[in-house]
C-alpha cells in the first residue's frame, strides 16, 4: 500500500514494490490520494499494475495545499493539519476517471472512502463522500464482464 511518509510513497517506489514479488502472490492496495501526494498518478500506473489492484482507498488531494507542502517541504503531519485531503470530488486525484478505469478493467473489489483529516464534522464528510460515490457509480459505463 503506497503511503506518504513511508518507503513506498513515490511512483518509482510503488513500481519497485510491485515489480519485486511474484504478481500472483502480492496484490496492490491502491491509495489514489497518497499516490497523487507522492507525485504519482493512478491513471499512469494502471496500465502496468491495474491487474494487481486488490483493494482501493479513495481520497482526493487539494492541489493548492499540495503545492504549498512541496514548496515548503512540509512534514506529512503539517500537510494533514492543513487539510491536504478534501472531500471526494474537490481535488486533483481525478476520482471519477480512476473509478471508471478500474471498473472498466474488471475491478470488483472494495472502494474504501478514506478521509484522513478534515476541518469539518467527520460524520458529515463521510456521508458526503459516500453520497458522492453512490452518485458517481450510476453515471459510469457498465463494466465488462470478468472472465473467470
24-29's contacts with Cβ under 8 Å and 24+ in sequence apart are 26/52, 27/52, 27/53, 27/54, 27/55, 28/1, 28/52, 28/53, 28/54, 28/55, 29/1, 29/2, 29/54, 29/55, 29/56, 29/57
For position 144, what pLDDT does the model report? 53
3-state SS class at 124: helix
pTM: 0.89
10 Å CB burial of residue 24 (0-12, 13-18, 19+) is exposed
- Grid-cell match 473509478, residue found: 99
For position 7, what pLDDT does the model report? 85
For position 35, what pLDDT does the model report? 95
Evaluate whether 85 touches 59 at the Cβ level (below 8 Å): yes
For position 124, what pLDDT does the model report? 95
Grid cell at residue 148: 473467470
As averages over each run of 10 residues, the pLDDT of the chain (148 residues) reads 84 94 93 94 95 95 97 96 95 96 93 90 94 93 56
For position 71, what pLDDT does the model report? 97
Amino acid at each position: 500500500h503506497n503511503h506518504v511518509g513511508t518507503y513506498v510513497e513515490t511512483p518509482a517506489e510503488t513500481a519497485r514494490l510491485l515489480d519485486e514479488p511474484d504478481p500472483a502472490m502480492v496484490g496492490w492496495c491502491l491509495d489514489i490520494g497518497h499516490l497523487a501526494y507522492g507525485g504519482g498518478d493512478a491513471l499512469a500506473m494502471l496500465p502496468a499494475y491495474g491487474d494487481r489492484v486488490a483493494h482501493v482507498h479513495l481520497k482526493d488531494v487539494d492541489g493548492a495545499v499540495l503545492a504549498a507542502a512541496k514548496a515548503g517541504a512540509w512534514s506529512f503531519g503539517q500537510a494533514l493539519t492543513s487539510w491536504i485531503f478534501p472531500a471526494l470530488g474537490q481535488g486533483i486525484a481525478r476520482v471519477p476517471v480512476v473509478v471508471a478505469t478500474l471498473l472498466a478493467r474488471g475491478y470488483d473489489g472494495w472502494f474504501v472512502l478514506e478521509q484522513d483529516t478534515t476541518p469539518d464534522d467527520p460524520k458529515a464528510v463521510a456521508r458526503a463522500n459516500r453520497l458522492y460515490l453512490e452518485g458517481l457509480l450510476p453515471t459510469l459505463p457498465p463494466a465488462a464482464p470478468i472472465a473467470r
